[in-house]
């Protein structure tokens, strides 16, 4: 009986000490100002709607991407894996960078022409992809 009581009291004391040690940290975290204006990292979706994928593919084709033109439009399914979209974006980005490498720096953004940059980012927004 003594041992059980002693162990119970020890557990209460340890729990109380841990709670007291954690409490100032929790209060400090609550009192810190929010990080307004800081962009949080977004995660890519697991799948992309077929219509969004095909629309993004069309945007890249209209911007002059030959790799996007060679890719097949998605069909016969409701969604496609996000890897299809990220691959499409990465291939177009690399193609545009190679094609635009001789442009003056003032006419480029992220190593490609501004219209190509806008097309790639527009396609990414259409598919809901943040990182590719």
pLDDT of 132: 86
Please state, in angstroms and rounded to a whole number, the distance separating the CA atoms of residues 98 and 111.
Answer: 9
Please state, in angstroms and rounded to a whole number, the distance separating the CA atoms of residues 117 and 96.
Answer: 8
The answer to whether 25 and 77 are in contact (CB under 8 A) is no
> 83-94: string of b/e by CB count within 10 Å (b at 16+)?
ebbbebbebbbe
26-69 residue pLDDT tens: 444 444 444 444 455 568 899 999 999 999 999 999 999 999 99
Statement: the pTM of the whole predicted model exceeds 0.85: no
The answer to whether 129 and 82 are in contact (CB under 8 A) is yes
């Amino acid at each position: 009986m003594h041992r059980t009581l002693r162990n119970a009291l020890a557990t209460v004391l340890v729990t109380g000490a841990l709670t007291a040690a954690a409490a100032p940290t929790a209060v400090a975290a609550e009192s810190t100002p929010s990080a307004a204006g800081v962009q949080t990292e977004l995660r890519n979706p697991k799948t992309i709607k077929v219509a969004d994928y095909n629309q993004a593919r069309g945007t890249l084709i209209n911007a002059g991407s030959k790799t996007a033109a060679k890719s097949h439009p998605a069909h016969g399914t409701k969604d496609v894996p996000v890897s299809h979209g990220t691959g499409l974006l990465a291939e177009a980005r690399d193609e545009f960078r190679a094609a635009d490498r001789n442009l003056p720096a003032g006419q480029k953004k992220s190593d490609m022409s501004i219209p190509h940059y806008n097309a790639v980012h527009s396609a990414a927004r259409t598919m809901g992809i943040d990182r590719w």
